[in-house]
Amino acid sequence: MKSLRAFLLSLVLIIAGFASVQAQEGYRDHLRDTLSPNGYYELVITGAGDMDWYKVGPVNDVGSLAVILAGHAGCGDLDIEVWGGTEDVPDELLGSSLSAEAREYVLVDTAEHYWFWVRVYGAGDASGDYSLITAHNLAEKAGENLRQTIPPGQSAALYITGEGDEDWYRIGRVEGMGMMTVRMRGEGATGDLDMLIFGGTADSPTDFLGAGVGAEADEDVRVSVDEHYWFWVRVFPNGDASGDYSLSTILGK
């Protein structure tokens, strides 16, 4: 029995290794772009069998790199892998996110590599637009750019200054169970603002819960409050959008 288990385990590892090699080799034909360690990119995947590879770097500081994928409406189930490697080739799978949606989040350590590679691929015939966000030392940025704490059920009037800016807000403490809608509304000619929602502790974001990545500054993201007391919202411009906007939370919707 032990020998059979050992054989089956070896077979699983061989199959997994073969699949990994196949995926890794795909970067040669599917490399789309080199991305900044702190960037926001709007991309598209074309359907069954398609994959997109992106090189991220160089990352010169020890810490963490967050890779966040947010699928746009109707794109289906997209997944991601994050690899470490050299500037020329991915050589070590560091993490993956394989949920049944197009909402994925991988956090990796940057101590061992200067360059990272991201593979985006569809499950089944998933296709359509998606956003890929990279963030170096995400938790530190949240602390450095925290504008205010918004109690649940309340709102705030805010301002963003343009490309490269980001605003962070902490929402809490949220008691009870159910759902919460985080609503952003731009004022006048603000342009295209987007937001990411994380669950976390009172000190930092930890779990990516959802994104509002439409073509305007009006976004609604609905998240469960069952697992967290504290939530973090990152608001950032697409391009050079700037101006006034409001952020509010609605419990029970």
Residue 40 located in a structural domain: yes
Backbone φ/ψ region at 178: left (φ over 0), alpha (ψ -120 to 50), beta: left
The DSSP call for residue 4 is: H
Structure confidence at residue 3 (pLDDT)? 55
Residue 17 located in a structural domain: no
Q: In what side-by-side order are the strands of the sheet with 179-186?
A: 155-160, 243-251, 179-186, 219-224
Residue 75 located in a structural domain: yes
Residue 194 located in a structural domain: yes
Q: Are 136 and 117 in contact (CB under 8 A)?
A: no
The model's pTM is 0.85
Q: Tally Cβ neighbours within 10 Å of residue 40.
A: 21
37 and 125 belong to one structural domain: yes
For residues 1-13, give the mean pLDDT: 47
**Is the pLDDT reported for residue 12 higher than 50?**
no
Q: Tally Cβ neighbours within 10 Å of residue 186.
A: 19
**Is the pLDDT reported for residue 13 higher than 60?**
no
State the average pLDDT for the chain: 88
Q: Distance between CA 62 and CA 45 in Å, rounded?
A: 32
241 and 189 belong to one structural domain: yes
182 and 94 belong to one structural domain: no
**Is the pLDDT reported for residue 236 higher than 60?**
yes
Of the candidates 141, 157, 110, the one whose C-alpha atom is nearest the C-alpha of residue 234 is 141
CB proximity list for 220: less than 8 A, separation 6 or greater: 181, 182, 183, 184, 212
**Is the pLDDT reported for residue 2 higher than 60?**
no
The DSSP call for residue 210 is: E
Residue 52 located in a structural domain: yes
Structure confidence at residue 9 (pLDDT)? 44
93 and 195 belong to one structural domain: no
CB proximity list for 166: less than 8 A, separation 6 or greater: 141, 145, 234, 235, 236
Q: Residue 113, class by beta-carbon neighbours within 10 Å (0-12 exposed, 13-18 middle, 19+ buried)? A: buried
131 and 177 belong to one structural domain: no
Of the candidates 155, 156, 179, the one whose C-alpha atom is nearest the C-alpha of residue 228 is 179
Q: What is the extent of the structural domain holding 41?
A: 29-136
Q: Are 162 and 237 in contact (CB under 8 A)?
A: yes
242 and 146 belong to one structural domain: yes
